[in-house]
Amino acid sequence: MQDVSTAPQALTMLSEEEAMFRDAVRDFAETEVRPHVSEMDEAAHFNDDIIPKFFELGLMGIEVPERWGGADGSIFMAALAIEELARVDASAAIYVDVHNTLVNNAVLRWASEEQKARYFPRLTSALLGAFALSEPGSGSDAFALATRAESKGDHWELTGRKFWITNGAEAGFFIVFANADFSKGYKGITAFMVERGFEGFSVGRKENKLGIRASSTTELILEQCRVPNENVLGPVGQGYRISIETLNEGRIGIGAQMIGVARGALEAATSYVKERKQFGKAIADFQAVQFQLAQLATDLEAARLMVYNAARLKDSGQPFAQEAAMAKLFSSQMADRTTSKCLELFGGYGYSKEYPAEKFYRDAKIGTIYEGTSNMQLQTIAKAMLR
């Protein structure tokens, strides 16, 4: 691991291993994902052949130790992979993001050695994961969740519904949060590792979304879902802590998604303005267009440095929650602005599905909402400043 520096240029420098990894993911995104982007978006269905290839390339166990089938890498490397995939298709990036920064991360930090040995060889080779916290009445107020967990001696029964579950249609492994003791409020919340085939578990309807349409977002239905005692993740009553600390890392992943989406949009717009002619010359020759591109590129670089910095801090064992919140907040706002301006640079064509600008615009919007809205990031940042 190279030395972590506050100098911006140090944050963008990659080791040889990191550069090779990034380039491999970039090539994969171009050859395996890009040919299917439009059809997947239109059908609102991710190509069934691609997810197994994520596993084959080693993208689904980036931070997991080699002894369990992982790459023994870093969150920085995960961010590089997510960024490169999102540059081509945000939906592809999300499968890798959620599986690594939420699911694997939670298991890595909170599971017992027996649980890790039981699940990681599958989670790094074929078993897709999902993170099930949100509910119909529990979004930003995550601790208002109503899903109930009851101990039945040799097992637990979970009853309730989960909403907005990313990867829900394809996942076979779910980290589900339920309250085991409502009298204790959020201190009753407990995390469980639930397999798709467990009795009482089913996947409900799939959301028809504005953007990231190929990424599945579903409802989960738990009807006295039977979960073995050995599948409790972490101590009973510590689910609130598990969710918060896991989402801190997840925000780095969302930041990486957003800089990838913004990169893809800016690259497409930059190429287009060189070709589009008005008043007898390419619109790239007009200073007004040049200045817009320069501002977008500057904002993108600022967001990239924030995301990379948060990742480097996490990898070096330093506090990173505030920086992750800042990175998620700024990068999602930047992506929203950048994709909107890039769409405008395409003129009327930007509003057409014939060109990529409108998809980048739709895909960017979710960044200000999921894994903590912008207001929730501001609250996190403010609390850290004022404590």
C-alpha dihedral, 370 to 72 to 241 to 173, nearest 10°: 60
Specify the length of the chain in residues: 387
Whether residue 170 lies in the annotated active site: no
- Token digits of residue 42: 């239109």
> Is the distance from CB of 191 to CB of 142 less than 8 angstroms?
no
Distances (CA, A) of 137 to 72, 160, 243, 359: 38, 11, 17, 30
Write the burial class of residue 317 (CB in 10 Å: 0-12 exposed, 13-18 middle, 19+ buried). Answer: exposed
Side chain identity at 197, as an amino acid letter? G
Whole-angstrom distance, CA of residue 323 vs CA of residue 379: 13
Whole-angstrom distance, CA of residue 70 vs CA of residue 65: 5
- Token digits of residue 293: 């591109």
Whole-angstrom distance, CA of residue 101 vs CA of residue 253: 7
96's CB contacts (< 8 A; 6+ apart) are 54, 59, 60, 78, 81, 82, 85
Residues labelled catalytic: 371
